[in-house]
Amino acid sequence: MFKKRAINKRLQPKSSLENGPQTEELAEPHNTSNLPLKSDDLTPMIHEKFNNTSDLKVKKYINLTIYYIENQINQQELNQNIIGKIKQADEITTETVYASIAINEVEDTDDLSYAILRMIKGSVALFIEGTPKIILASIPVKESRALSRPENESQVTGPQLGFNESLATNVSVIRRYLSTPDLCNEFFVFGTRTNTAVSLLYIKGIASEDLVNRVKHKLNQIEVDALIDSSVLNQHLDDHSWSIFPQMLLTERPDRVSDGLLNGKIALFVDGSTNVILCPFTFIEFFESREDYNIRWPIATFIRLLRIVAMFLSIFFTSIYVAALTFHYEIIPQALLVPLGESRSRVPFPPLFEAVLLEFIIELLREAGARLPTKVGQTMGIVGGIVIGTAAVQAGFTSNILLIIVALSALASFTAPSYTMGNVIRIIRFPILFMAGFLGFYGVMFGFCLLLIHLIRLSSLGAPYLSPFYPPRFQDWVDSVIRLPMKYTNKRPTLTRPADVQKYDPDKVN
Amino acid sequence: MKVLLSIKQEYLLNAFMIFFIVHSTQIGVGIQGYQRIIYSDSHQDAWISVILSGLYASLIVYIIIKTLELYETSDIYGIQHDVFGKLIGKLLNVLYIFYSLISFFVVLRNYMEVVQAWIFPEVPLWFLTTSLLMLVIYGIHSGVRGIAGIAFFSVTLSLWLLILIIYPLQHAKWTYLLPVLEADLIPLLKGVYHMTFTVIGFEILYTVYPYMKDKNKVQKYAQLAILFTTCIYTILMMVAIVYFSGAQLERTVWATLSLFKVVRLPFIERFEYVAITFWMLIILPNLILYMWAACRGMERVFTFSAKKSVWLFSSIIFIITQFVISRTQINMMNGYFAKFAFVVVFCYPLILFLAAWLKKKFTKKKEQSV
């Protein structure tokens, strides 16, 4: 029911624009709909709406006309459950059609545009002579692949299940994790040309109403012609579209989405997209993984700290090396100076050029690895890396110490559990590298300050991006960079302003 | 001009943010080398001068907050306007904007001096100025909450520098502190007077107060900030006294930075390079808050938008930096500024409080008699 209302709401103004006022005036007094009474009049109208597409089929059976798009419907179901059943009836009226069709989802409409839309989505339209109505029976072809392992967010422990491209399947997977009637699913349609289905999921009683309304308001404001993937919707919803940082999580893990929903977040599912948007999201949460809850807390804390260190290392390590070697060689201890000098003695380039070159090669390898087919990609990555690395050192292109540093920071950037965040870390390395090359530590610090101010300014759906550090929310620190035992993480994070703060009674858990 | 301000709920700050704002504004460039100046006044008792200056600062903070509490939701611009009338009020307001700008300039110029003297003697001044002004302009645009955030991170992210005083303490000669209380009251007070340049910064309360959420807690957190700052100053003073010999300290311009020279980590030597560049984060809230106070004044007094005045002030500062070049000029500027700041921060709040208090009492009586 909800589906129909949502779609109608969006389509009504458009159809009234096209042929609204005139048809209303011309329509006969007893026929309030814009549909004709005869199929001979209706058929050209539908043909025209579909621009005479060749896969539109029109079948006549006594006073019943059947319209459908050939590739969108299940032929077997049409024969068995619709035509087969109607043939058994004595006469064909709306009532008998309704009574005989053995299909779950049947509705009737007098809005042609709506009927057209449903036909694209896999409905059969039935028209009975003399009745200005179209009966729609939904028998879409279900072409979706089976649920498989998440490709981009792998975990050692925990469920190995990833979303697929079907909205219905994805939502049902979430329903399996969260079997509660409080899980609300609201339906939206996006794109004036693509009519993409979007589902908004949240748990009533946990998610703050203010937040849900804010998302809905934002969704209603967006007017686009096409929506192919959730990552595009994500960019439409961002507070700061100029920023390099992702402000919402794109994930293909149902357990992660369920966890987010339980913490008062809001999930957006886009039909045809394997990634689900989870919002609002903070900077530090991009370095948390669902797996951290599956393993014991000291290990989880260690791994989280490791990721944070890796992030800093990845952004600043090469820059510090370049700055130290270009301007501040005084800071390098004597014992280290000798091997450093030896390894750099054959290199003809200044450190900045050397570093940028090597970083560029690493980025090249990564991008090539992502584009190549899986099996070739892995081999190419390793072989290319080793071959280019050793050859570059032997040829006197780079020093082997820098090679270690660059490889280390590349490796570190892959520890971020979110692919989008990993990308950002790799990219912001370059401007800081240049600043280090021109201004030494001063440049690195300038980059750091700029980054800090930028992060302070950012927000995700109005929630501060650096929470729980700024604004300081100390009660949330138990589950941020560190993770304490379950007994102490019994509160939901303040970030989402959850309606129900307490997860469970801390006295009743270990 | 409206005396009382009504600030939207979403712009208000938690009371304990005042701790970070006050503390980060106090700690800036003064801390880099105040030891020499105070030492030349009160020698090994210099740390007593530092504590005394902290106590006096605490008193002034008390007075400032009492003044602000008389009006509840006003800042210095509104109070001066209300107390001294339209003309004199405006004059004083312009003077306060001028003071904020001069403070900004002094912090900026001194930091650049340090960068040029220690790390980059050859990098042109205009380049360093531009880079810092860029950060300031970007920071100001993030609004009050953003500025408070910069102050917060500036304090929390630089706390680790404090741990490093362990290194000079390994070479400490504690007998340098003896005999205690050799100095008379006059040199001690002279030391307090010379601490002005280092201790000021809490006058930011005058402008930031209306943005506080629960105003009855502001006093507590502001005093805590003063306590924390004074502790750091006292510790650093003592460390400098016990680490350097007297004659050496009198010749050390940037004693705190020189202390970092001793730090020796397995992967890094000459730690002061790191410390000085890291200092950028410490002076950043200083710069941003002073600039913000000035821009806020422009907004209040002349209804000139803050975003525009940032650009105006930045270009003015940029031009002025080109004229103050030599070390002697900077020293002279610091001397004049310290005197100016002594009047504005250490004396004027008392006068303002008295005037405001009398005015309140007067008007109340008038109301009662009517």
Cα–Cα nearest to B220, from B235, B198, B240, B205: B205
Residues of A in contact with B145 (CB under 8 A): 471
β-bridge pairing A459-460 and A183-190: unpaired
- Looking at residue B254, what is its pLDDT? 92
> Nearest CB to B149: which of A334, A448, A470?
A470
Q: Residue B270: which region, alpha, beta or left (left: phi > 0; alpha: psi -120 to 50)?
A: left
CB of B53 closer than 8 Å to CB of B192: yes
- Looking at residue B365, what is its pLDDT? 77
Residue B335 lies in a domain: no
pTM of this structure: 0.90
Residue B136 lies in a domain: yes
Does ipTM come in above 0.85? yes
- Lowest mean pLDDT across A49-53, A366-370, B28-32, B270-274: A366-370
> Nearest CB to B142: which of A331, A442, A456?
A456
- Looking at residue A14, what is its pLDDT? 39
CB of A444 closer than 8 Å to CB of A436: yes
Burial of A385 (0-12, 13-18, 19+ CB in 10 A): middle
- Looking at residue A22, what is its pLDDT? 41
Cα–Cα nearest to A291, from A259, A247, A248: A259
Residue B368 lies in a domain: no
Which pLDDT tens digit goes with each residue over B42-61? Answer: 888 999 999 999 999 999 99
Residue B232 lies in a domain: yes
C-alpha neighbours within 13 Å on the C-beta side of residue A9 = 11
- Looking at residue A31, what is its pLDDT? 53
Nearest CA in chain B to A444: B277
- Looking at residue A6, what is its pLDDT? 44
Cα–Cα nearest to A268, from A225, A243, A238, A245: A238
- Looking at residue B323, what is its pLDDT? 85
Higher pLDDT, residue B227 or A6: B227
> Nearest CB to B268: which of A331, A444, A452?
A331
- Looking at residue A4, what is its pLDDT? 41
Residue B149 lies in a domain: yes
Per-residue pLDDT band for B156 (boundaries 50, 70, 90) equals very high
pLDDT, mean of residues B350-358: 93
Q: Take residue A186 and report the two structure tokens written for it.
A: 């609201």
- Rounded to a whole number, what is the distance in Å from the CA of A175 to chain B's nearest CA? 36
Cα–Cα nearest to B197, from B103, B96, B94, B101: B103
The whole-angstrom separation of Cα A409 and Cα A161 is 30
Per-residue pLDDT in tens (0 to 9) along chain A, 510 residues? 344 444 444 444 433 334 434 444 444 445 556 788 888 888 888 888 888 888 898 988 888 899 999 888 988 888 888 888 888 888 888 888 888 888 888 888 888 888 988 898 889 999 988 888 889 999 988 777 888 898 888 888 889 999 999 999 999 999 999 999 999 999 999 888 888 999 999 999 999 999 999 999 999 998 999 999 999 999 999 999 999 999 999 999 999 999 999 999 999 999 999 999 998 999 999 999 999 999 999 999 999 999 999 999 999 999 999 999 999 888 998 888 888 888 888 888 899 999 999 899 888 888 887 788 777 777 777 777 777 778 888 888 888 889 889 989 988 988 988 889 999 999 999 999 999 999 999 999 999 999 999 999 999 998 999 989 988 888 888 888 889 998 888 899 988 889 888 999 988 887
The 10 Å CB-count burial string (b at 16+, else e) for A293-302 is bebebeebee
Residue B134 lies in a domain: yes
The whole-angstrom separation of Cα A107 and Cα B279 is 70
User: In this complex, how many residue pairs, one in chain A and one in chain B, have their CB atoms less than 8 Å apart?
Assistant: 84
The whole-angstrom separation of Cα B313 and Cα B291 is 8
Q: Could you check whether the bond before residue A471 is cis, i.e. omega within 30 degrees of 0?
A: yes
Burial of A165 (0-12, 13-18, 19+ CB in 10 A): middle
Higher pLDDT, residue B235 or A369: B235
Cα–Cα nearest to B334, from B36, B21, B122: B36
Q: What's A205's DSSP letter?
A: T
- Looking at residue A15, what is its pLDDT? 38
**Inter-helix orientation angle A419-457/A297-326, to 10°:** 70
Residue B223 lies in a domain: yes
Count other Cβ atoms within 10 Å, centred on residue B184.
Answer: 11
**Cβ distance of B267 and A439 shorter than 8 Å:** no
The CATH number assigned to the domain holding B27 equals: 1.20.1740.10
- Rounded to a whole number, what is the distance in Å from the CA of A315 to chain B's nearest CA? 16
- Looking at residue A382, what is its pLDDT? 72
Residue B3 lies in a domain: no
Element (H, E) at A201: strand A196-203
- Looking at residue A37, what is its pLDDT? 85
Q: Collect all residues with Cβ–Cβ distance below 8 Å to A260 and sequence separation of at least 6.
A: A249, A267, A278
- Rounded to a whole number, what is the distance in Å from the CA of B270 to chain A's nearest CA? 5
Domain count, chain B: 1
Higher pLDDT, residue B56 or B3: B56
Residues of B in contact with A462 (CB under 8 A): none
Task: Report chain B's mean pLDDT, rounded to a whole number.
Answer: 91
Residues of B contacting chain A (CB within 8 angstroms): 14, 17, 115, 119-120, 123, 128, 131, 134-135, 138-139, 141-142, 145-146, 149-150, 152-153, 266-271, 273-274, 277-278, 280-281, 284
Q: Could you check whether the bond before residue B349 is cis, i.e. omega within 30 degrees of 0?
A: no
The whole-angstrom separation of Cα B79 and Cα B83 is 6
Amino acid identity at B51: I
